[in-house]
Amino acid sequence: MSLAWLLAVHASYPLSKDSLWERHAEEWTTELRRIAAQSTPFRITYEHVVATDSAVIALAEPTEPVNRIREMIRERLRLPSETRNEADLVHTTLFRYRGPLSDPEKFLAMLEDVGAEAAAEVDELVVSRELVYPSLEAEVLARLPLASQ
């Protein structure tokens, strides 16, 4: 589950993303470590399965801890203006399509009544750098444990 982008995949920046990572990674990670230390572990409950044009995802309602961490990231990290963190949903990608669907209507109809009754415990923030979109290859830069309850 992604809480926020530091550098968005689909955004264009005046400098290369590698340069931006090199310039800001330490500052961003330090502040994220502080945010993690001020946040306690929490649970995400997935309720719906949804098909998009590129993937099938499980959706959960954002909980107060998710919203609070997102707000701290928006307020405290100096991110490039091209990075927009306006997400108001929580999702996990279950799988992506290899190519275009042969019968999208039939597939959507099959998923219409599918629910997702699953929960996940969140006890750390993971800072990762996506190397091959969409999440096919990523480099984990830091694992930041959330504060003990």
On whether residue 10 sits in a domain, the answer given is: no
How many whole angstroms separate alpha carbon 18 and alpha carbon 77? 18
Whether residue 46 has pLDDT greater than 80: yes
Range of the domain at 108: 17-145
Write down the residue that tokens 């997702």 correspond to. 116
Q: Which of 6, 42, 5 is nearest to 124 (CA)?
A: 42
Helix (H, G, I), strand (E, B) or coil at 123: coil
pTM, to two decimals: 0.84
User: What CATH number did the domain enclosing 74 receive?
Assistant: 3.90.1140.10
Give pLDDT tens digits for 80-92. 999 988 878 898 8
Domain count across the chain: 1
In a domain, 70, yes or no: yes
Size (the chain), residues: 149
Q: Does residue 8 form part of some domain? A: no
